[in-house]
Amino acid sequence: MAEEGQHIFWNKLKWTDDKKGILSFAEARGVPNIEFGTPPQFGGPEGKVSPQDLYVASLNTCYLTTLLGTMGHMGISLLSYESEAEGIMERKEYKELRRAPANEISKITLRIKIKADAPKEQVKLLLKHTGRRCAVENSIKSEVVVETTIL
């Protein structure tokens, strides 16, 4: 049960075989299951979404949904929006004792094309505030770069 000011997001997964599984969400919300797997770069199957894909996608989708909420409160309509997100995963060496090298997604670049029924300067400001309000961006350690084209 969530406490005051908290929201709970739930999922479960089941390993199916080899390097694959199924990710399930709250059935009451009608969210479809997602088949996932180890990335092909690490010997996983083709045609499956990977944890790394989901990580990068979570920032991309959170950015839009946060923007929509902010625009709704301000009475601004979104006319068009497209974005792509690219995450760079690299092997990091750690100077701390007893910590082995590990992969991490060190940087995510969002490339956004947006058109709204507001002046371009106001849209720029909205996008800046969106980054500050996006729960996923506030929760990750990856560097986030946002490149925008305001139409």
Query: What pLDDT shows up at residue 147?
Result: 97
Q: Does residue 5 lie in a domain region?
A: no
How many whole angstroms separate alpha carbon 55 and alpha carbon 15?
A: 19
Which residue range is the domain that position 35 belongs to? Answer: 11-42
Task: Tell me the C-alpha to C-alpha distance, in Å, between residue 24 and each of 30, 32, 36, 111.
Answer: 10, 7, 11, 29
Residue range 109-144, pLDDT digits in tens: 999 999 999 999 999 999 999 999 999 999 999 999
Residue 78 CB contacts under 8 Å (≥ 6 apart), including other chains = 67, 68, 71, 114, 115, 116
Please report which helix (H) or strand (E) contains residue 49, including its range: none
Q: Is residue 2 part of a domain?
A: no
Split at pLDDT 50, 70, 90, the class of 102 is confident
Where residue 127 sits, what CATH number does that domain have?
A: 3.30.300.20
pLDDT digits (tens, 9 = 90+) for 135-149: 999 999 999 999 999
